[in-house]
Chains A and B, each alone.
Chain A
Amino acid sequence: MEHRTSFGVPHRKMAMWVFIASECMFFGSLIATYLAYEGRSLSGPTPEEILNIPLTSVSTFVLLMSSLSMVLALDAVQRDDRLWAKVWTGGVIFLGGLFLAGQVYEFTHFYHEGLTLEANLFGATFFVLTGFHGAHVTVGVVWMTTLLVMMFRGTLGPDRATDVEVAGLYWHFVDVVWIVIFTLVYLIQ
């Protein structure tokens, strides 16, 4: 029996929501810093010159679809559909990896174009914000991989669906943060 708070919510789920609330403040600070310094760089490259909207649009779509895969993985675990639980969890890992590959390509391209952490205010705030987001995606991919290993070992059934739900909350939050970054950093220049 899962331990629950006095609100009837499993302790770990409640803890994850409190963590997510604190993460809102963390990413809020990074986004605030990016917006406060926006357009104040004394030298290039500028966002208008360097940001690749088509590539980032595809990355955004990939991350949104990974959220769909995540919620379907949870649904499969709750129904004790072990095959589809593995398929959808594998999907999250694949799509998360694809998003990270896109980010690595983008960062490498920017570096060769002269945009580094030290180049200007845009470089500093952009790399810190998107870099921390990428680090969160990486943690999510590692977390999902551990869940997939547990599924293959047969130790993750409906009785442990909260494990997947808590991981899913984290993954969806990372997706939600990207929704905000995509709009504020890439589209509104």
Chain B
Amino acid sequence: MTAPNEARAEHEAEAHGSRSTYWLVALVLAVITLLEVAVFYVPAIRPIIVPVLLILSAAKFVLVVAFFMHLKYDRPVLTRIFAGGLAVAAGIVLAMMLLFGAIGPGTGH
């Protein structure tokens, strides 16, 4: 690697979020967790509890991965590696649930 490339790579490696961003993300994560627990105890939300909880959980997942694991600031190749593993994992979960009849025709899900 050439010297300018090395300097750029080092700069990018250090170009992470600020401390105030980290505290803000932690606050949002705490609020979302509080919302999740609140949703669990509200009977009126029962019919739509699964999609609501999945959306809230996905939001927390993305926040931690993007800001705390620095994927938002880091090289795109790292995001692709992670997304690859995640896609296989999601495929395993869906395939298993379909094979065991937990989701799909006749299950109501």
Contacts and interface: CB of A to CB of B under 8 A. Distances in A.
User: A interface, by DSSP: helix, strand, loop or mixed?
Assistant: helix
Interface stretch (A34-42, A108-116, A139-147): A34-42
A87 interface: no
A176 B61 contact: yes
B34 to A, nearest CB: 8
A33 to B, nearest CB: 7
Interface residues of B, number: 55
B77 A9 contact: yes
Given A22-B85, A33-B96, A188 B49 contact: yes
Contact of A53 (B40, B75, B92): B40
A106 interface: no
Interface of A: 1, 4, 6-10, 13-14, 17-18, 20-25, 27-29, 31-33, 35-38, 53-54, 57, 60-61, 64-65, 67-68, 70-72, 74-75, 78, 168-169, 172-173, 175-176, 179-180, 182-184, 187-188
